[in-house]
Structure 1
Amino acid sequence: MTLFKKNKKSSVKLILASTLLFLATILSISWLSQNVNKQVVVFNTSISEDATPKVLERILNADAKPISEIKFEKGTYHFYPDKGLEKFVHISNHNDVIVRTAMPIFNFKNLIIDGQGSTFIYHGRMIPFLIDNSNNITVKNVTVDWADSFHSEGKIVANDTTKHTFDMEISEEYPYEIRNGQLIFVKEYYEHHLGQSILFDPKRKGITFDTEKYTPLNQFGKIEISRNVDKVSYKYPVDKLEPEFRIIGRENALTVEEIKPGLVRIHNTKGDLPPVGNILVCKGEQHENRLAPAFRVTHTYGFNATNVNVHHAGGMGLIAENSADLILDSFNVTPSNGRMVSTTADATHFVGCRGKVELKNCTFNNQLDDATNVHGTYQIVQDIKDEFTIGVRMGHFQQQGFVIGKANDTIGLVRLSNSFFPYNKLTIKNIKKINSRYQLITFNEKLPADLEEGDLLENLDAYPELLVENCTISNNRARGLLLSSPRKTVIKNNFFSTEMEAILIPIESGHWYESGSVENLEIVNNTFQDCQHSGFNRGVIRFDTDDDNQNTAFKNVAITNNVFNQFDNLILQVTNIDGLLFENNTITNSGTFPQLHPKNPAIRISHSNNIKFRKNTYKGKAKTILEKDDSLKSLKFK
Structure 2
Amino acid sequence: MTTSLDVTDFGAVPGGRGDAAPAIVAALQAATARAGRVTVRFPPGEYHLWPDGAPRRELYVSNTVGDDPAWRDKTIAVLVEAADDLVISGAGARLVLHGLQTTFAVIDSRRVRIEGLEFDFAVPTVVDATVVDAGVTAGRAFRVISVPEATLFSVEGRSVRWHGEPIGAGAYAWEGYDALEYSQVHDPAGGRTRRAPNPLFDRVRKATRVGRRTIRLDYDHGEAPADAGLVYQMRRTTRDHPGGLVLDSAAVTLSGVVFRFLHGFGIVAQASRDVGIESCEFRTPPGTGRHSAGFADFVQFSGCSGRAVVRDCLFDGPHDDPVNVHGTYLRVAGQPGPRTLELEYAHPETAGIPQFAPGDRVEIVDRETLLPIAVAAVERVRQPSGRDHDVPLRTIVVTVGSALPGGLSGRAAVENVTRTPSVHLARNVFRNVPTRGVLVTTRRKVLIEDNRFERTGMSAVYVSGDATEWWESGPVRDLTVRGNEIVEPGGPAVFVDPRNPGSDPAHPVHHGVVVEGNRFVLDGVPALDAKDTGGLRFRDNAIAHVGVPAWDLVLRSCPGADVGPGEGGAPLRIMEESRDRPL
Q: TM-score, normalised by structure 1?
A: 0.79
| Matching residue of 1:33 | none
Residue 366 of structure 1: how far off its partner (Å): 1.2
Deviation string 1:407-436 (CA, Å, 9 cap, x unpaired) is 211111111324433434342412333322
Match of 2:431 among 474, 477, 488: 474
2:46 is the counterpart of 1:76? yes
Q: Give the conservation status (yes or no) of the 8 Å contact 1:563–1:587.
A: yes
1:132/1:180 CA distance change after superposition, 3 Å = farther
One-letter amino acid of the structure 2 residue matched with residue 68 of structure 1: V
Cα separation, 1, equivalents of 2:51 and 2:96 = 12
Cα separation, 1, equivalents of 2:529 and 2:224 = 29
Cα separation, 1, equivalents of 2:529 and 2:20 = 50
2:39 is the counterpart of 1:90? no
Q: Give the conservation status (yes or no) of the 8 Å contact 1:531–1:540.
A: yes
2:537 is the counterpart of 1:581? yes
Aligned to 2:25, the other structure's residue is in SS state: helix
Which aligned pairs between 1:334-373 and structure 2 lie closer than 5 A? 334-336=283-285, 337-373=288-324
2:277 is the counterpart of 1:277? no
Residue 182 of structure 1: how far off its partner (Å): 5.3
| Matching residue of 1:109 | 84
2:574 is the counterpart of 1:626? yes
2:361 is the counterpart of 1:410? yes
| Matching residue of 2:134 | 158
Which has the larger helix fraction?
Answer: 1
One-letter amino acid of the structure 2 residue matched with residue 187 of structure 1: G
2:414 is the counterpart of 1:457? yes
1:77/1:218 CA distance change after superposition, 3 Å = closer
Cα separation, 2, equivalents of 1:302 and 1:107 = 13
Residue 135 of structure 1: how far off its partner (Å): 1.0
Residue 546 of structure 1: how far off its partner (Å): 2.1
1:602/1:316 CA distance change after superposition, 3 Å = same
Cα separation, 2, equivalents of 1:473 and 1:585 = 20
Which aligned pairs between 1:220-235 and structure 2 lie closer than 5 A? none
1:168/1:541 CA distance change after superposition, 3 Å = farther
1:279/1:445 CA distance change after superposition, 3 Å = same
Cα separation, 2, equivalents of 1:326 and 1:428 = 28
Cα separation, 2, equivalents of 1:153 and 1:479 = 21
Q: Give the conservation status (yes or no) of the 8 Å contact 1:53–1:102.
A: no
Cα separation, 1, equivalents of 2:527 and 2:311 = 25
Aligned to 1:105, the other structure's residue is in SS state: strand
Which deviates more from structure 2 when the two are superposed, residues 345-354 or residues 43-52? 43-52
Which aligned pairs between 1:286-325 and structure 2 lie closer than 5 A? 286=237, 288=238, 290-325=239-274
Residue 62 of structure 1: how far off its partner (Å): 5.1
| Matching residue of 2:7 | 43
1:327/1:571 CA distance change after superposition, 3 Å = same
Which deviates more from structure 2 when the two are superposed, residues 309-318 or residues 517-526? 309-318
Residue 557 of structure 1: how far off its partner (Å): 1.2
Aligned residue pairs: how many?
545
Cα separation, 1, equivalents of 2:498 and 2:355 = 22
Q: Give the conservation status (yes or no) of the 8 Å contact 1:375–1:483.
A: yes
Cα separation, 1, equivalents of 2:163 and 2:513 = 48
Q: Give the conservation status (yes or no) of the 8 Å contact 2:283–2:317.
A: yes
Residue 545 of structure 1: how far off its partner (Å): 2.2
One-letter amino acid of the structure 1 residue matched with residue 151 of structure 2: Y
Deviation string 1:223-254 (CA, Å, 9 cap, x unpaired) is xxxxxxxxxxxxxxxxxxxxxxxxxxxxxx97
2:103 is the counterpart of 1:128? yes
Unaligned 5+ segments in structure 2 are: 166-172, 385-390
One-letter amino acid of the structure 2 residue matched with residue 200 of structure 1: H
Aligned to 2:537, the other structure's residue is in SS state: strand
1:265/1:393 CA distance change after superposition, 3 Å = farther
2:116 is the counterpart of 1:144? no
Residue 372 of structure 1: how far off its partner (Å): 0.5
Match of 2:189 among 192, 203, 221: 203
Cα separation, 2, equivalents of 1:142 and 1:64 = 23
| Matching residue of 2:480 | 522
1:528/1:384 CA distance change after superposition, 3 Å = same
Q: Give the conservation status (yes or no) of the 8 Å contact 1:613–1:636.
A: no
One-letter amino acid of the structure 1 residue matched with residue 278 of structure 2: D
Deviation string 1:57-76 (CA, Å, 9 cap, x unpaired) is 23345565557221111222
Aligned to 2:258, the other structure's residue is in SS state: strand
1:160/1:322 CA distance change after superposition, 3 Å = farther
Structure with higher Rg: it is 1
1:216/1:88 CA distance change after superposition, 3 Å = farther
Residue 618 of structure 1: how far off its partner (Å): 8.9
1:578/1:166 CA distance change after superposition, 3 Å = farther
Cα separation, 2, equivalents of 1:256 and 1:379 = 49
Aligned to 1:57, the other structure's residue is in SS state: helix
1:419/1:150 CA distance change after superposition, 3 Å = closer
Cα separation, 2, equivalents of 1:416 and 1:218 = 42
Match of 2:352 among 384, 392, 401: 401
| Matching residue of 2:168 | none
1:491/1:206 CA distance change after superposition, 3 Å = same
1:136/1:428 CA distance change after superposition, 3 Å = farther
Residue 355 of structure 1: how far off its partner (Å): 0.5
Deviation string 1:192-246 (CA, Å, 9 cap, x unpaired) is 4421101111324541xxx45x426699xxxxxxxxxxxxxxxxxxxxxxxxxxx
Aligned to 2:134, the other structure's residue is in SS state: strand
Aligned to 1:570, the other structure's residue is in SS state: coil
How many percent identity over aligned positions?
20
Q: What do you get for the CA RMSD once the two structures are aligned?
A: 3.1
Q: Give the conservation status (yes or no) of the 8 Å contact 2:134–2:224.
A: no
Cα separation, 1, equivalents of 2:198 and 2:375 = 42
Match of 2:497 among 541, 544, 552: 544
1:610/1:129 CA distance change after superposition, 3 Å = same
Cα separation, 2, equivalents of 1:266 and 1:92 = 42
